[in-house]
Amino acid sequence: MLKSLRAEIYLVCGAIFFAFNGIVSKIILANNLSAMRLTQIRCTGAFLLLMIYVLARNSRALRTNKIELPWLIAYGVIGFAAVQTGYFIAIARMHVSVALIIEFTAPIWIVLYIRFVRKKVVPALMWISLLLAFSGLLLLAQVWKGMTLDGIGLLAAFLDAFALAAYFLLGEKLVTHRSTDTLTVWGLGIASLWWAVVTPVWSFPFHIFTQQISLLGRFSSIHLPGWVIILWIVVVGTIVPYMFVLSGLKSLSASTSSTIGMLEPVIAGGFAWWWLGETFSFVQLLGAVVVIVGIILADRARRMSH
């Protein structure tokens, strides 16, 4: 009981840090750093810092074998690089809210995989919780406003959702035999190689590190150099939340973990209201409540199954 509660707290903390990172990332993106480049520096910086820490602590921990290596490569390529690449293609061709909602169908694909591929019983309450959480996200994003669907964008968004589902499933498998820090190093390292090929380092806009950047919203009068904000994104917005999520996966299933992850857009909306002054309609507030109810029911379904 205590172990499960601790894992749930880890996952909620991960959602909080990921959500807050979205606000900080918006600040740097508003200063003409592309989303692709921000993701590249985020993955590469987090990989280098975490690798130094792991090597100093226990260099042998990063060793692998022929059986595990293909899974680690798949984890890095699919769970880190593909998730972000699919998301960027989707938002470039269709409404951001639609792309976000499709991405968060990942828990549904996980439950379907568990039920029809692993042939395991899924409690009826879990299906109800997923339906509620997904419906709440639809209300929160108000996808009926200005929604346009592009064929390639729609395909990319669904591939993004499948990749996110694979991230949780692969993480659930790998974290049982490997520490969270070394698993994160492998994932970020492989993703960094991917970005180095897609967006060469020598063309990176390095001036962003010395540029004075406004914190926008209620803190618009405060300016910080770009390297401070990027360092925050790398450490607090990447390493910390990924470690929380993987720590939670040690004790909870991929389906429950991904459902708890649905808290992220709800929390991000709260941060956006407080920091940037973005307002919520009644429908959006209702959606946030429905998401939370869905998450509570998902946790109850998990407890019933055990």
Residue 108, token pair as written in the block:
């549904």
φ, ψ at 70 (rounded to 5°): -60, -35
CA distance 169 to 73: 14
Q: Tell whether the torsion through CA atoms of 131, 134, 140 and 141 is positive or negative.
A: negative
Residue 42, token pair as written in the block:
């985020």
CA angle at 96 for the pair 155 and 213, rounded to the nearest 5°: 130
Rg over CA atoms, the chain:
19
Q: Tell whether the torsion through CA atoms of 143, 149, 155 and 156 is positive or negative.
A: negative
The distance from CA 5 to its chain's CA centroid, rounded to whole angstroms, is: 21
Contact between 150 and 94 (Cβ < 8 Å): yes
Tally Cβ neighbours within 10 Å of residue 142: 14
Contact between 114 and 120 (Cβ < 8 Å): yes
Q: What is residue 147's predicted lDDT score, i.e. its pLDDT?
A: 57
Looking at the chain, how many residues does it have? 306
**Domain-by-domain residue ranges, the chain?**
2-305
223's enclosing H/E stretch is strand 223-225
Contact between 290 and 139 (Cβ < 8 Å): yes
Cα–Cα distance list, 18 to 140, 196, 205 (Å):
18, 23, 24
| pTM for the full predicted model | 0.82
Q: Tell whether the torsion through CA atoms of 288, 293, 294 and 295 is positive or negative.
A: positive
The distance from CA 144 to its chain's CA centroid, rounded to whole angstroms, is: 24
Question: Which residue do the tokens 């996808």 mark?
Answer: 143
Q: Tell whether the torsion through CA atoms of 78, 84, 89 and 93 is positive or negative.
A: positive
Mean pLDDT of each 10-residue bin along the chain, 306 residues long: 86 92 86 86 93 89 91 92 84 71 83 87 87 85 68 86 92 88 93 90 92 93 96 94 90 83 83 83 84 81 66
Dmax (CA) for the chain in angstroms is 57
What DSSP string runs through 203-214? GS-GGGGTSEEE
Alpha helices in 175-305 (DSSP H): 180-198, 226-234, 240-249, 254-260, 263-271, 282-305
Contact between 23 and 272 (Cβ < 8 Å): yes
Q: Which one-letter DSSP state was computed for residue 252?
A: S
Contact between 267 and 24 (Cβ < 8 Å): no
